[in-house]
Amino acid sequence: MFVKTVKMGTVVRTLGIILIVMIIILGAVYLFNRSTGGGALLDSEESRAEFLESLGWRISPEPLDVRQVVIPSDWNEVYEEYNRLQLQQGLDLDGYRGKGAEIYTYEIYNYQDGRQNVVANLVICEGRLIAGDVCCTELGGFMHGLLPPKEGELTFEDEAG
């Protein structure tokens, strides 16, 4: 039996270590981005307005309201249902439990059935969109994701009734 031993040179060993470190760093960045969400960067008034307009909404030039909130660590059924809505539109509040955020509320002027008192809410954490909805603030109103509903699509009001 013939056995040959090969010694790794210092250069090869160094390159191997660098490669392993790079893989670890890339993995950590990937996991961090997954846990903190990859929502749109909406860190200015202009970027938030452009985002809503890109979805087809005509909105108030300034937010009607800006509120500081803390996403609860423990959720009740309302938060569970709201997060299900967020998951449907590619967002997830789960990684933000216990964190502070701002809610920007804009009036929508062009809701499809001409309904009044319709607003868009953008929930922003560290400049990134983490949740959002469109809702009617009237008694018996509705709520759905940020995109305009397709004809015949159910909203929360329709599902409850």
**Structural domain count, the chain:** 1
pLDDT of residue 12: 63
The per-residue pLDDT for range 137-161, each reduced to its tens digit, is 999 899 999 999 876 554 554 444 4
* Residue 23 belongs to a domain: no
* Residue 33 belongs to a domain: no
The parent domain of residue 48 ranges over 39-160
What one-character DSSP code corresponds to residue 7?
P
Angstrom distance (rounded) from CA 128 to CA 92 = 12
What one-character DSSP code corresponds to residue 89?
T
pLDDT surpasses 60 at 26:
no
**DSSP H/E element including 69:** strand 65-70
pLDDT of residue 40: 86
Largest CA distance in the chain: 87
pLDDT of residue 150: 78
What DSSP string runs through 8-65? PPHHHHHHHHHHHHHHHHHHHHHHHHHHH----B--SHHHHHHHHHHTT--B-SS-SE
In Å, what is the CA distance from 6 to each residue of 12, 42, 94?
Answer: 12, 55, 51
What's the pLDDT band for 99 if we cut at 50, 70, 90?
very high
Q: Which pTM value belongs to this model?
A: 0.71
* Residue 113 belongs to a domain: yes
Angstrom distance (rounded) from CA 130 to CA 106 = 16
The per-residue pLDDT for range 27-84, each reduced to its tens digit, is 444 444 444 455 889 999 999 999 999 999 999 989 999 999 999 999 999 999 999 9
* Residue 122 belongs to a domain: yes
